Structure 1
Amino acid sequence: MVKLLIIADDFTGALDTGIQFKKCGISTQVFTKTKLENSEIKTDTEVLVIDSETRPLSKEEAYLQVRKITSWALSMGVEIIFKKTDSALRGNIGAELKAVSDAAGEASVFFLPGYPDIHRITKNGTHYIDGELLENSVFGKDPFEPVKRSYIPDIIHDQSDISAVNILVGEELPETGKNIAEIIVCDTVSTEDIDKRLDEMAEKKCLKLMAGCAGLADRLVEKLEFNRKEKMRFRKTDSMYVACGSMNKITENQLDYAEKNGGFARVHLSMEQKLMPEYYTTAQGKSFMNEIVELCRMKKKVIVDTFDLDDSKEQFMREHEIRPKSVRFRISDSHGCIVNEIVRHNVDVTILMTGGDTLMGYMKQIGCTQIEPLCEIEQGVVVSSIECGGRFVQVISKSGGFGTEDIMCRIAEKVINKES
């Protein structure tokens, strides 16, 4: 029986939160569709993760989607709703938290936004990334969802009219209940702060509606009772292919390091190759995909990225009447075409995808709506299995803003079979 529902706004968020439970042997299912049939949910599933894909939507669309999912879960008797938020607070944070509150009858939602283990903390209601104000970090310059504020109640109020109050470390939680619609933003400077707050919530029997990132999920595992089974592991493959759809500067630095220091072969997609998915139906596109397949067979480590190498992008978009909002989806669809071709040729490869849109692009290509997380190979980096035409494809998902400079090299060291 499902005890906990996690609603994520993108695919990597769904996986890096769901894996906190799956890696502890807790039966967990992750879906990329929002309308589920009862028959799709296994009888032993205790944690259900739904990717609402609401991050790129308008705040009005995101509100309706999250409210609908929350209402469905509550009607099914799910006791705990966890609204997964980005650790850098990108997306429709305020609208989605209000949706959870409204669906539950105007109830309070406890929001613990920090992830101290990766130096993302909340102090006096203000969010910091590596000691820097959120708005001044790389996430303030995000090409799709730049975060222009650091004070969390202000971020919430930009997107909704729900009350937001800040609770300091050590300060007692206020009384809550139905008809008290507010977001209670809890400072999280250390992992111990999260543990203490969860213990207080459990004591006050208010572990019902909460929000936060994978850092909160990691601690919640220890606070709830679950049945636990044998843990799953990843398998080693002959090679690793990196499909980089992220445009985050952190990821760009990671790829530069992997190319210079890790022996990775690297291919930059042209404007046509990354922004025109229909290119891959042409003779030229098919020839290019065959070149990538052969490169994967010859090299153990391959990167294909979509970073802009010049200033021709805007002109190309004008000439082909491409709307800016569609860029992320065109990039993910293009990556999906290439990955699908690699898999079709039975290359023994682990596919690492950066950015939730990238993995979604591939799953759309193969018509898959469910993925099985296996384990966490690095913090925030999840290994999963996807079934495609009777074959199981091993994929690794990584958020664009996660990881140290050498992370690609460390992952390759773990996943590539040295005897091949």
Structure 2
Amino acid sequence: MLKTVIIADDLTGANDTGAILAQDGFHVGTVIKRDRMEDFSSFNTLCVSTDSRAMSAEDAYEAVRSAAALFPHHPDMLWSKRIDSTLRGNVGAEIDAILDHLGEDYHAIVVASFPGSGRSCVGDILLVHGVPLQLTEVSRDPITPITTSRVTSIVRQQTRHEVGYIGLEVVAGPSLGLLEELHEVLKKHRVVVIDAATPHDIRAIAACCAASGEKIVAIDPGSFTAALADYTFNRAKYETEQSILCVVGSATELTQKQIAYLRAKDDPFVVKAEVARFFEPKTRAEEINRLVEAITSAQDRQILAIVTTESAADLLNFDDIPATAGMSRRECATTITAALAEASERILELSGERIGGLYASGGDVSIAICERLGISGFDVKMEVIPLAIYSRLAGGTRPQMPVVTKGGLVGKEDTLFQCVDYLKEKIK
């Protein structure tokens, strides 16, 4: 059955977007001879070029409507209007054409970014390898010169529909916030432009669009269409996706920055341990229970994290905790890591196979967790970055589980994000 239709304004663009989907397992064909559609009956994704970039707006509109009419229209099909990665051509007129063909219950989501080709959209400004669009050579294009870098301005000048906008600060935030904002903006706008700077941003937008229940046409140079098709039709792989448990015991300023960076770039479920409660038996048990219940209840999140600090205000002075009287600094640290390890063990037991990878920051935390799980050692594989090591656990209750261990003073601001991203690939 046909799943995805891609209408591009030139043949190169049609093939390019099709190739991205083919890499994700779709059977993709590009139609040249429109009178031979029967030759493509076995394909689930079809691309067609209207060759309309240099046409008048009126002719481009008709070309897109004519191309759309080639394909059957069923409610589960994904439609994509492939646009130039520098927004040349008749972007607005072609959006109008596809919306008119599909009907009033469809909305157009414009994601002009194409990170693989150096295109990113930040603050509604399209950047080409970091340079605003209007300062690149496309401003001198002899047929369709670009005079602004603002995506909403280009689209508004060409479409008859109201154009909304969602900025990067929403895209990079929690997924629930993006989903709520998407619903609100779509109430007032048929066309919505959304910022994206990285492949992760595009995946976040696609995930929200797929989960929104709205009928959406992807308007983009290819990356967003591919991500949306993947979430829409390969949903089972996301529903069964394993999670990563991160246990961050180090309390350095660098670690705090790494946690903040992960929050900004991904959608982790983070629980901060009230460390002072670990030093009294009653409150220790209560706090461990709280951590375990919080993490095991977050069934819909891939990244699950227990941390001890997120800012300088969270740092403890052990002398201010009455229960630490007579304890050395080493004994205090051991009490904390032992509690984190116990919480980790219980989370892994309760989660079964749902958690497929482990990240541990702080050497003492790594050792305490291994002891708790009965781990014999590590099957060392490679460095993710210097001093952040990817291994498989040897022995114990979780043999061969992928793990990354890292010291608290290791890496840069983005290191935790890099390590988690690496583990995502290893647990697929």
TM-score, normalised by the number of residues in structure 1: 0.49
Structure with greater helix share of residues: 2
Q: Which protein is bigger by CA-based radius of gyration?
A: 2
Task: Choose between structure 1 and 2 for higher RCO, CA contacts under 8 A separated by at least 6 residues.
Answer: 1
TM-score, normalised by the number of residues in structure 2: 0.48
